[in-house]
């Protein structure tokens, strides 16, 4: 299944701002969705309110990229949330895709007080967690801000990142979907679901989230770099 279908972005829809938070494949998910939307004839803007790896490989004529400048590390420095909201209000693009969080390359993270950096106009918030964090130690090797994840999951540093830890991160008011605009739709994307064992764990997490979080109605089990990125769609 394609992302455009799993996210319920109908062929006639437009004027939506989709923000991505979390870790474990935000940028890859954003790029893959941009390609799908552009192939469907949509005019797409890619931007960030933090910083993202400079998307040099994106060259579809339907995709524009906006940032303040490229850093010496090769990252695209982001625009302000105010600018993102102004662009949204001008209605120049069918879709605006915003990377609104950073994870230092880790597959899972808990947000600090100043994170994420979400535009108010966000219509759809996609929270991404890499399933390559599953079964790993709750430590800085695999987790961005492990002390915050431990606190919000009521776990200890060094514990295993299991179904309960991931579900707690999603459900906590200061967790994955922290600062989500009131009217925005929340969707959980569990990425890097590459093996049957991982899919079974992701399915269990997804069902726990649907049972626990009344404001999340859709969970995607995905491997976004593959041709058919969504392996399974769970919904209430």
Distance from the Cα of residue 55 to its chain's centroid: 16
| pLDDT band at 70; cut points 50, 70, 90 | confident
| pLDDT band at 69; cut points 50, 70, 90 | confident
Average pLDDT along the chain: 94
Distance from the Cα of residue 70 to its chain's centroid: 22
Taking only the tens place, the pLDDT of each residue in 119-160 is: 999 999 999 999 999 999 999 999 999 999 999 999 999 999
Q: Rounded to whole angstroms, what are the CA distances from 93 to 19, 84, 234?
A: 15, 12, 29
Burial of 61 (0-12, 13-18, 19+ CB in 10 A): exposed
Using an 8 Å Cβ cutoff, are 157 and 138 in contact?
yes
What SS3 class is residue 13? coil
Look up residue 144 and give its two tokens. 């961005």
Give the pLDDT confidence score for residue 55 in this predicted structure. 63
| pLDDT band at 63; cut points 50, 70, 90 | very high
Quick count: other Cβ atoms within 10 Å of Cβ 51? 17
First-to-last C-alpha distance (Å) of the chain? 18
Helices (H) and strands (E) in the chain, counts: 6, 13
Distance CA 69, CA 77 (A): 5
Map out the domains of the chain with their CATH numbers.
3-7+14-235 (3.40.50)
| pLDDT band at 168; cut points 50, 70, 90 | very high
Distance CA 145, CA 167 (A): 17
Distance CA 231, CA 225 (A): 12
Look up residue 48 and give its two tokens. 């960030």
Give the pLDDT confidence score for residue 57 in this predicted structure. 65
Mean pLDDT, residues 31-46:
95
Kindly state the DSSP code that residue 80 receives in the 8-state scheme: P
């Amino acid at each position: 299944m394609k992302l455009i279908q799993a996210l319920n972005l109908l062929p006639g829809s437009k004027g939506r701002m989709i923000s991505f938070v979390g870790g474990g494949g935000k940028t890859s998910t954003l790029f893959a969705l941009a390609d799908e939307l552009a192939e469907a004839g949509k005019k797409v803007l890619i931007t960030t309110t933090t910083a993202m790896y400079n998307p040099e490989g994106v060259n579809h004529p339907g995709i524009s990229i906006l940032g303040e400048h490229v850093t010496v590390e090769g990252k695209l420095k982001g625009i302000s949330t105010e600018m993102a909201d102004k662009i949204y209000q001008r209605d120049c693009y069918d879709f605006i895709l915003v990377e609104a969080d950073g994870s230092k390359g880790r597959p899972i993270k808990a947000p600090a007080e100043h994170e994420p950096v979400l535009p108010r106009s966000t219509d759809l918030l996609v929270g991404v967690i890499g399933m390559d964090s599953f079964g790993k130690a709750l430590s800085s090797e695999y987790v961005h801000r492990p002390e915050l994840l431990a606190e919000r999951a009521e776990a200890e540093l060094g514990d295993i990142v299991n179904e309960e830890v991931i579900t707690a991160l999603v459900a906590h008011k200061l967790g994955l979907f922290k600062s989500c605009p009131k009217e925005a739709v929340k969707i959980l994307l569990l990425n890097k679901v590459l093996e049957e064992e991982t899919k079974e764990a992701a399915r269990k997490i997804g069902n726990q989230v649907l049972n626990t979080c009344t404001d999340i109605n859709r969970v995607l089990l995905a491997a976004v770099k593959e041709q058919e990125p969504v392996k399974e769609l769970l919904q209430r």
